[in-house]
């Protein structure tokens, strides 16, 4: 064992429950690691740092607080394996935030050796890259940033960092996402989905879309504005690579699509838009998709602006609503098959 290395074995909830507050484990000596081995470990909260990596051989849980893991405490440039997550291991902050790496530090990367599951209730913040080396197509990577669905958990990846699933399915569940770095599932699909029922989505443009509705209040007609909960701009979309990208789910709410442009959508493959309990609206500016488009919306699809697609078929499923295209607007499928389905 390297001098200064800390090995942690089988710290159960029954053992650690008498400790109120976070447990701090520090191994700053050159080459030292913190290794969680033997069996799953649970703590109230966690703050772990090491010079040469943190190794998770079994599940690690912060039951009542946040978990911070920094395996590059001495801030070595381009360090690799700063956190190593073994195949099938879950890293959980059951009542707080999960912070990975060091803010404003030199770019370093963590490794997932197979299937990886990261979960928190108050957000996941990636200050380091995370690269999977799991067998492509067999070892999914899943991140849940708002596990209790209370709307406090955002997924944030810092500029210069990359989340790379190595062509494995990548799923992100969050109240909000901030793609300042890169998301890459290569030859596998990616899903960005809601954490609570009815959560709204905005996609495209440079400003978060806002729903404007007329409401009668106190005998007067007033304009009520509602900002979308989860927003991915065109600039963020350009930093996503996938073979098929899905936004929303069967429980997500209203989705406003505002001028998705062809240049920024090139890397995501077929775009699938879900509004499982509401509708999908294309607003403000023309949207263009480079490899096909699928839309599923319980209460219909409304095109207030032109929509273009090419390279693959287009499916519009309006559920119990209607498919509506405003006057002088249109849908151009680039010669590909168009399928329209509604229950209305």
How many Cα atoms occupy the beta-carbon half-sphere of 245 within 13 Å? Answer: 24
The list of the chain residues with pLDDT below 50 reads: 1
User: 25, 42, 44: which is closest to 34 by C-alpha?
Assistant: 25
Block residue for tokens 């650690």? 16
User: In the prediction, which pLDDT does 341 show?
Assistant: 94
User: In the prediction, which pLDDT does 217 show?
Assistant: 67
Non-local CB neighbours of 218 within 8 Å, separated by 6+ positions: none
User: In the prediction, which pLDDT does 32 show?
Assistant: 94
- In 3-state terms the chain splits into helix, strand, coil percentages (rounded to 5) of 5, 45, 50
Cα(234)–Cα(120) distance, integer angstroms: 27
* 190, two tokens: 């990616």
User: In the prediction, which pLDDT does 223 show?
Assistant: 76
- Kindly report, residue by residue over 133-176, the tens digit of the pLDDT: 999 999 999 999 999 999 999 999 999 999 999 999 999 999 99
Cα(122)–Cα(215) distance, integer angstroms: 33
Alpha-carbon Rg of the chain, whole angstroms? Answer: 22
User: In the prediction, which pLDDT does 3 show?
Assistant: 58
Q: Which residues are registered as beta bridge partners of 154?
A: 176
pTM score of the predicted model: 0.94
| Long-range pairs for 14-21: beta carbons < 8 A, 24 or more residues apart | 16/42, 16/43, 16/44, 17/44, 19/43, 19/44, 20/44, 21/45, 21/65
User: 33, 42, 86: which is closest to 65 by C-alpha?
Assistant: 42
User: In the prediction, which pLDDT does 171 show?
Assistant: 98
The helix (run of H) or strand (run of E) holding residue 178 is: strand 176-179
Q: Reading across the β-sheet that carries 255-257, which strands appear in turn? A: 230-232, 201-203, 255-257, 280-282, 301-303, 323-325
């Amino acid at each position: 064992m390297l001098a200064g290395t800390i090995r942690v074995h089988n710290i159960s909830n029954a053992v650690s429950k008498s400790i109120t507050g976070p447990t701090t484990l520090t191994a700053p000596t050159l080459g030292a690691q913190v290794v969680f081995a033997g069996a799953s470990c649970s703590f109230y909260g966690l703050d772990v740092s090491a010079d040469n990596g943190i190794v998770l051989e079994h599940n690690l849980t912060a039951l009542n607080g946040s978990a911070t893991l920094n395996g590059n405490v001495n801030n070595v440039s381009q360090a690799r394996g700063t956190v190593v997550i073994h195949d099938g291991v879950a890293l959980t902050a059951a009542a707080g935030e999960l912070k990975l790496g060091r803010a404003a530090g030199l770019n370093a990367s963590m490794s997932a050796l197979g299937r990886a599951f990261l979960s928190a209730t108050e957000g996941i913040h990636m200050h380091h890259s995370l690269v999977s080396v799991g067998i492509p197509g067999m070892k999914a990577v899943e991140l849940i940033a708002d596990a209790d669905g209370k709307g406090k958990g955002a997924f944030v990846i810092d500029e210069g960092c990359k989340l790379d699933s190595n062509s494995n399915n990548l799923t992100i569940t969050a109240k909000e996402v901030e793609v300042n770095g890169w998301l890459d599932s290569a030859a596998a699909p990616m899903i960005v989905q809601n954490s609570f029922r009815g959560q709204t989505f905005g996609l495209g443009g440079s400003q978060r879309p806002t729903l404007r509705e007329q409401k009668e209040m106190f005998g007067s007609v007033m304009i009520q504005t509602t900002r979308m909960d989860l927003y991915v701009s065109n600039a963020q979309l350009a930093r996503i690579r996938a073979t098929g990208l899905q936004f929303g789910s069967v429980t997500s709410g209203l989705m406003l699509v505002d001028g998705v442009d062809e240049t920024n959508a090139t890397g995501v493959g077929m775009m699938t838009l879900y509004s499982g309990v509401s509708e999908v609206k294309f607003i403000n500016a023309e949207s263009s998709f480079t490899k096909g488009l699928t839309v599923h919306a319980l209460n219909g699809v409304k095109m207030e602006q032109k929509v273009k697609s090419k390279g693959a078929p287009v499916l519009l499923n309006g559920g119990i609503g209607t498919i509506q295209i405003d006057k002088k607007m249109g849908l151009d499928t680039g010669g590909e098959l168009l399928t329209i389905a509604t229950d209305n």
